Amino acid sequence: MKTLFLWILPLTFALLSCTESVDISDHSIQAEIIGKPALTLTSDLMTPEVLWAFGRVSGHEVSPDGQTILFGVSYYSVEQNKGNRELYTIAPDGNNLKQITHSPKSEFNEMWRPDGKKIGFLSSESGSVQLWEMNPDGTERTMISNIEGGITGFKYSPDQTKILFTREIPKENKFRDVYEGLPKASGRLIDDLMYRHWDHWVDNYSHVFYAEYDGEKIWNEKDIMEGEPYDAPLQPFGGIEQTDWSPDGKTIAYTSKKMTGKEYSLSTNSDIYLYNIETGETRNMTEGMMGFDIAPLFSPDGKYIAWESMERDGYESDKNRLFVIHTQTLEKTYATKDFDQNAGSLFWAPDSKSIYFTSDKRGKFHIYNYALGEGVITQVTDGMHDYKTVAVTRSGLVAARNSISVPTELYSVDPVSGAASQITFVNKDLLDQLAMGKVEERMMKTEDGKDMLTLLIFPPHFDPAKKYPALLYCKGGPQGPLSQNFHYRWNYQIMAAHGYIIVAPNRRGVSGFGQAWQEQISGDYHGKSMSDYLVAIDEMAKEPYVDENRLGAIGASAGGYAVYYLAGIHEGRFKAFIAHDGIFNEEAQYLETEEMWFENWDKGGAFWDKDNKVAREVYAHSPHKFVQNWDTPILVIHGELDYRVVFTQGMTAFNAAILRDLPAQFLYFPDENHWVLKPQNGILWQRTFFAFLDTHLKGN
């Protein structure tokens, strides 16, 4: 599934109120300044409470002169069940760290004004989310916008005379006449699809505006999509990165899928549009390109636009390609044509001669560079970690990096050698007190003779003379990366800290191993990927330090499907299952979910299409049709606000287990979506997760 930007709320942990520069040659000083008060642990093993105590680094906006990096750190209060994000600046070499905000409301969408004299950001300090500005040291905090209902994102024009922003526009109620005189009526009258999406009912459109700006306020705002009932940016995950200004400030590029209802639910065909603010004309730059086209980015010299593109309509996991168009000749270049990997997080070099991007390869995300003149792609970084975003500073690159054992921090990266130096140490105080398990890569042969990379994570203080229970991790998606990402729920290290060996195979469907490997799973969730899972756990069960009688299988979303399916075919291998937001009944799922393009592509079509061989095979292998074979304890977890995989999928799976007289539990969250985002719910999730495993795999 796609990634959601989480807007975070206030917390109680007080950050130190200082804005003076700090020499961080002693990195423990930086950790103290940037973090909440030091937390002393009673054990070197990770717990749910420790996991929620980590500071979460996000964003890295480089100042116009390239000498200062602006970023944010989020901390959570379990007691208040909410979090807060504050802003910081730091030099590319890691010196001159400053905390520049100290407010009870989170700041986000932060960016430098083009002249570098102000920092703009969004905050709900006034009650609704508005644009604010402050000096680079955090002083003179001033509200710039006062838009009814608030705004959701913004960008300065390069000449600093205008501001682009996005906000929500209410949908017109076409049935308003029947509601006349019924102010307390709660019923929703619906006559088309896409009436709800991800975790919300679709009552609004997201639109792009621009307004005049004089350095103190904005006014004379104009909706460049006035009268159009379409989203820009795309919902539910699109943000301000799906818009851009041309360097001359005359053109706004934006991403939109100009469809509604059933048509919208069946198609992924979004386009890049160019709006001329002088003439008011709009032009479709990607007309005829039928898949997702998103995230336009003008080159600094204005001669090119780069963007991310998928080829095929209806396939949300198609290869994510890098495309470049010349703004005058309109000549398009498929930059990654001979590059069998995805490309994302684009960033132009200042000379407009190359583009940096990130891509996943064999379980790791790294930074790459595409040179326009030569058409050559070069891998910049290497190592067992993930680089997720990249930007250019005066002295090189700055990138956000994490790994299975280390949360996200910022690194300075040499653009030639790829050598990296860590420049933030937000979690040093906690990491210094924790023992992390060894992470190992192992190649395995699949049943059909393919090479499959499997990640293994061992418990801290691992003793090969002992026998350990093992967990098969079933990845969601079903497409997408299984990489080095430090996750705050499905965290391998916290599982290992509880005494489990984690087995995470890059089974069919995982990206980073070529498009053919990723695409194989479509229409075949039940086939080769299931075989890959069983190969991985069977191979590890042979190890002398793995107790083959204490194996579990865990997973969410498509990984939850895998757990439900394995429960019906595992032939006694596993002693415990955990499925979170999993698909249990494929026929019900086809008619319950919202993005029909996903169902039609990955399932082959509707279950009533009896002439469709792929669809017949898919629905014949729906996990609920094997429930008569269930014989193993199972924990089911689901959120009511999950509109991608509706909570009744989990409820019916749990009911089936109880009716089968199996030890089963149902952890139900009325206020969570496809994920678990609230601190106390997150800790309840972890405690329930490990209590269930410990009961059935350890006998605790």
Pairing of strands 69-77, 82-90: antiparallel
Contact yes or no for 376/370 (Cβ under 8 A)? yes
Contact yes or no for 638/581 (Cβ under 8 A)? yes
Contact yes or no for 98/21 (Cβ under 8 A)? yes
For 43-143, where are the E strands, in sequence order? 56-62, 69-77, 82-90, 98-99, 107-112, 119-123, 130-134, 142-143
Q: Record the tokens describing residue 444, joined without a space.
A: 């395995």
Q: Record the tokens describing residue 276, joined without a space.
A: 């001329």
**Interhelix angle 596-603/613-620, nearest 10 degrees:** 100
Q: Please choose, from the candidates 331, 312, 330, 329, the residue with its C-alpha nearest in 3D space to the C-alpha of residue 320.
A: 312
- Half-sphere exposure in the Cβ direction for 58 (13 Å, CA): 18
CA distance 344 to 389: 8
Give SS3 for 49: helix
Residues belonging to the active site:
557, 642, 674
User: How many C-beta atoms surround the C-beta of residue 631 within 10 A?
Assistant: 14
Q: Record the tokens describing residue 246, joined without a space.
A: 């041309």
DSSP 509: T
CA distance 286 to 616: 36
Which residue has 């909706």 as its token pair? 223
For 403-445, where are the E strands, in sequence order? 409-413, 420-422, 439-445
User: How many C-beta atoms surround the C-beta of residue 361 within 10 A?
Assistant: 20
CA distance 28 to 394: 26
**Interhelix angle 558-569/528-541, nearest 10 degrees:** 70
